[in-house]
Structure 1
Amino acid sequence: MKEKFFSFNVVADDPKPLNMEVSTEVFLVKNREISKPSDANVVDFNPEDIICFDDDFGGTLNISFNDLVHGKYNIEEKEFDTEDDDVFIVKKITYIDIRNREKNTLFKIDKLKEGIKETVYVDNRYFLKPWKHRVRVITEILDIDEQALKDIIGL
């Protein structure tokens, strides 16, 4: 299965003012082992990828591709193959909101099992729980040690 992830920057005034830089890192967790995909390649963004983009950032940043096209933007898309089954795909989304002088890290976790991908955890920038609570919930979902998560993902 091909998995896509995005980094982007945007400056827009309409329909809502935006001046953001967003980067995404991906980690895979299988059998309590954390790794990075070794074969992630930069690919051209095309209209078919809008659904994946909106899925990643609609629930986390409340931003859709439609918000970007109303301003100036740049998107970097990467993709990798995951043939593993029963694996968690952890997206670490770091954003800098230049307008509001805000920087934070959000997580989106999908579970891939029997060829079906299901979202099992999403941080939303406007309804963010305390950091310790988020780390505890994420480690419980992934069934990994809290320190391992902090060391590998750089928390």
Structure 2
Amino acid sequence: MIKEFQRLKEDENNRLKLEWNFQRTLAKVNYHIHTDAIKENLIPSAISKTQAAIIYANEADVLNMALFGKTAKQWRDQNPEKSGNVRDYATLEQLVVLSNMESTYALLIHQGLSQPNRLIHLNQLAITQMTSLVRRRNNLTELRS
């Protein structure tokens, strides 16, 4: 009985890892939609690669602020022992929302919204979607108990 329980728990953990990896990959793919919108709408052709990299980083931090409440640098400063970035440590729900936010962000850029207005819109989206996903996860957890 104990071995079967352990096997079921291991299967569940493997499934959750697979879901997380899928969502992380999806967020990486959607990031290209986001960066293409930046390239097409926010990066002047006459600037250096270094200047363009700063614009990309600033725009990525809008997503980070909207979802995680901190910039990439703030996260690195708070987590010096961790490798990678905040997105590598995101929950499954956060990755789902991040993926949705990236495509929405591209749309907001194409529509010409200012960066502060994009941040407000994305933060509202993040709150709404995280609330829904966490509530759903909690309901499923209660049903399993």
Greater share of helix: 2
Pairwise TM-score range, normalised by the shorter structure: 0.3 to 0.5
Higher RCO (C-alpha under 8 Å, 6+ residues apart): 2
**TM-score, scaled relative to structure 1:** 0.32
**TM-score, scaled relative to structure 2:** 0.34
Which protein is bigger by CA-based radius of gyration?
A: 2
